[in-house]
Structure 1
C-alpha cells in the first residue's frame, strides 16, 4: 500500500470567483474574440466548445484576474456542481465566466492529476453533499476549500497522470470526431430543409416515450451500462434502458437543449424523450437543434426556472420531407449518428476504466511500467 497524503483543496490551490455584474455585463459579448468559459461549457474534465461566448481583447484585458492559464481547473457555481474543466494549452488565455470558480495551484501538485482525481465517484459525492441549495445545487469557494483529497507524492502524480492522459486523449479524440460529424449532419440538414415551407405540425410526426420516474441524483451514483440523459450536459449511467432505437432527449427545465442517441438508453424525470414516425427521428433531432434559440425564447416559459411548454411546441409548424427527400437525407446522416453514438458508448467505457484504474495505481494494486 503506497503512502497517501490527505489534504484540503484550499491548501493546494487558490480559488477565484468569476466577474460579477459590476465588472462585466452579458451585453459585452461579441460574435468573435476571446472565448469565455461559462457553466454550459464545463464538461467531464474538459471544456465543451459548443456554444462558447466571446469578448473583445479590451474586455479581456480589463478582466485580467479572470484570464485562465494552462493547468487551471474551472468549476461551475451552480447546476452540475460535480463537473469541472481542466484548462489545456490551447485554452490558455481564455476567460472564466461569471458563474464559474477557478482553481490555480499554489503548492507543488500536478494539476492534471488533480483533475483526474476529481473525476472519481468518491470526491464527486463529497462535492455534491457539500453543495448548498435543494432545487439548484451551488458551490462557493469556502465549500471547495474544504473538499479533501488523497495525494501520492509528486513523482507518482506525474507518472499516473501520463498514463491516464492516454485514456483522456482517446476520449477527447472521440469527442472531436463527434463534433465534426454533428457539424456535417447539421450542414446537410440546413442545406436541404431549413428554408422549406411548413406543411404539417410537429405533433403529426411525434412519438412520446413514457415519462421517467428517475431523478438525476439517483443516477449520479449509478454505474450501469446504459447512457442516462438529463437536462444537463453530462451523460450519466443507469442499469436498465427505458427506450431503444433512434431517440431525441430534450431539456424540460432551465435552458433549451436537445440530444440524440442511437441505441438503448435511459433518461431523467426532467428530460422529454421523443422520436418520430416513418424514420424521421434523425430529421426531427436536427430540426429541433436548428431552432434552439427559438425553443429558449418562445417555448420555455414561467417565472423563476422556466419550463418547456410541450403543447405549444407540438403545435409548431414544420416541414415534413417527401419520401425521396427523406431517403436521400437518411442515407447521408444516419451513418453519422450511428458513429456518434458508438463513440459515446466507448467514451463511457473509457471513463469507467479511468475511474477504476486511478485508485488501483494510487494504492499500488496496479503499476506503470516505464
Structure 2
C-alpha cells in the first residue's frame, strides 16, 4: 500500500485566525471544535458572527464545499467536511484543508483521517510532554495517508452513503418525536383531541368543566391526578457510573448529559430516566436499558406509560427551580415530584393516544437500532477499506 503525506494531497493547509470574535445569537455560523462530530459538522449548537467579522476571518481562506476542517487541540484530530451551500468561518484551534481533487477525493480523505491508521499517528504526537495536546501544522502536514490504488472515490462514496443513511434515520426519528409532542400538546394542553365525530373537541363545542384543584377548565370526564397515582418506580440500580466500561450495545443512563453503554439491561419497554443530582434533566427511551445509582427510573401502567414522558417533558423547564433543592449539591426531591398535579384524560383518549405514541416509539427504536448496525458496519469496513483488504466492486 502506498502512503502520501497530507501536505501532498492538499492544495492549501490553512490555520484558523487566532482570535476570539464577538459572538452573536444569529448571523453567519462559526464552526468550533465541538461542532465536529463523526466526520460531519453538527449544526445544532452553532455560534454566530456578523458579516464584517466573517469577512475578516476568511481572509486567509474561505471554507467551501468539500473542504475538510480538522482540530489542532481540545481534542485534536476530530474532523468534519463542509457541506454544499454552508456559509461559515472557523473558530480557534481549527485548520482548513483544501483538498487537491486531482490527487484525492475529499470524502476519501475525510474517512482516511478518521481511520485508526491516521488517528494513531495523531495521538502519538500527544506523547510530546506538552500540557495541552496540540497538533501543530508542521506535524499535521507530515501525516501519512493510506492510498488505495483504485476506486478511491467509490470508497469515500460508499462510506458516505452509510453516514447519509444514519443522518436520514436520525432526522426521521427527530421528526417522529416532534410529531408526538405536537399531538400531545394539541390533545392534552389545548384539549383538541378528536371527539365522537373526529372533530377537535374544544373548538367544536365540547363541554368543559371547572376543576378546583387545577384552577382551570378541563374536558368533561377528565380528572385531576398526581404523578404518584400513575407512576411505577423501577428498582434502584446498584451500578455506579465508574463501573461502566462504555463498551456495550445497551444504553446506560446517568445523572450526567452523556448516555454510556453496557452489556446488561435492567429494564425494557418505555421508561423515563431522571437525574437525582447535579443538573435537573429527564430522558426517555424505548427498549432495553440500564441506569446508574443516581438515576431515578420510572414508568407507568399499561397505556398510561405513553403519556408519562410528555407530562415530565412539560415539567422539565421548571424542574431545576421547583423540584431540585438542598444546600451545596442540590438533589431531586422525589416526594415533591410525586405530588405534582396535572390533568388526566378519560380512558378513551388514553387508549387512542397510546396507539399513536406506541407506534411512534417503536418506529424510532427501529431506526436507532438500524443506525447501530450501520455504525458497526462502517467501523468494521473502514480499516479494511483503508488498508486494501476490502475493495469496492466497479459494478
Structure 1 match to 2:16: 16
Q: Distance in 2 between matches of 1:40 and 1:281?
A: 35
Structure having the higher Rg: 2
2:245, 2:261 within 8 Å by CA — same for their partners in 1? no
Question: TM-score if structure 2 supplies the norm length?
Answer: 0.66
| SS of equivalent to 1:243 | coil
Structure 2 match to 1:207: 233
Aligned Cα RMSD in Å? 4.8
Q: Distance in 1 between matches of 2:280 and 2:74?
A: 17
Q: Distance in 2 between matches of 1:44 and 1:252?
A: 31
In structure 2, the CA distance between the partners of 1:53 and 1:284, relative to structure 1 (3 Å rule), is farther
Q: Distance in 1 between matches of 2:253 and 2:72?
A: 19
Residue in structure 2 matching 1:243, options 257, 267, 273? 267
Q: Distance in 1 between matches of 2:374 and 2:4?
A: 27
Structure 1 unmatched runs, 5+: 133-137
Q: Distance in 2 between matches of 1:338 and 1:256?
A: 27
Matches within 5 A, 1:240-279: 240-250=264-274, 258-267=282-291, 269=292, 272=295, 274-278=297-301, 279=303
Structure 2 match to 1:29: 25
Structure 2 unmatched runs, 5+: 192-213, 216-223
Q: Distance in 2 between matches of 1:160 and 1:333?
A: 40
Aligned residues: 347
Q: Distance in 2 between matches of 1:228 and 1:244?
A: 12
Higher relative contact order (CA 8 A, sep 6+): 1
Q: Distance in 2 between matches of 1:139 and 1:190?
A: 48
Structure 2 match to 1:159: 154
In structure 2, the CA distance between the partners of 1:128 and 1:364, relative to structure 1 (3 Å rule), is closer
| SS of equivalent to 2:64 | coil
Residue in structure 2 matching 1:358, options 382, 388, 391? 382
1:16, 1:102 within 8 Å by CA — same for their partners in 2? yes
Residue in structure 2 matching 1:176, options 171, 174, 182? 171
In structure 2, the CA distance between the partners of 1:203 and 1:226, relative to structure 1 (3 Å rule), is same
1:113, 1:161 within 8 Å by CA — same for their partners in 2? yes
| SS of equivalent to 2:310 | helix
Question: TM-score if structure 1 supplies the norm length?
Answer: 0.70
2:68, 2:81 within 8 Å by CA — same for their partners in 1? yes
2:68, 2:110 within 8 Å by CA — same for their partners in 1? no
